[in-house]
Chains A and B, each alone.
Chain A
Amino acid sequence: MTNWIDIGALEDIPQRGARVVKTARGCVAVFRTGEDEVHALDDRCPHKGGPLSEGIVHGGSVTCPLHNWVFDLNSGVAKGADEGQVATYAARVEDGRILLDATDLVARSAA
């Protein structure tokens, strides 16, 4: 089951940038690439907890601002020599609005 929630307009996030969504289980970073794709990942680097939403977005990747680990925005998997993975959430754009699948995010906090 999916639970699409409208979290804002695409323009609210700068191209090659990110904003966070606060949830009961911590912040989720929502990225917008240079191609206007959106991706949602936990805003916590598996290395030492760096806020990925503050990183530089390039192609389909983000570089953690603390120690430069690079993550694939689609899979959340660390690239290159580093090992680790960030949880991802389904997100899409419709009519200029960003929709986030909040199934795992809202349900838990309501319980």
Chain B
Amino acid sequence: MMNPQEQLLVALQDLDLMLKEHTDSKDQFKKMGFDVSNLEELQKARALLVSKLEPAHVQHYESMQKRHGRAVFPVTSDMCLGCFAAVPSVYRSALYQDRVRMCQHCGRILYFP
């Protein structure tokens, strides 16, 4: 199980990656022949996601995004891939299923694939 708020934060991070990439490299995608004209549709999808998140989570997400460039990082081998600090194994337990899990070292939001 995964906290619904955590799921929304992962979806938001994926969406922000797409928005950034298709803004930064728009010409490259167009040159390849892709239609990337509806950026406003993604902005709408983003606004919808944000509206479903608790304000404190949005605030933390934006702050991490600003500080690190990306707010959500996956956990591999019980390690935060953002700062490579160890992640407590208890994070995988049922005790934490209803919480948004964050790296204790860097504060990034964690995704457990």
Tell me whether A and B are bound partners.
Answer: no
Residues of B within 8 A of A (CB): none
Binding site for B on A (CB under 8 A): none
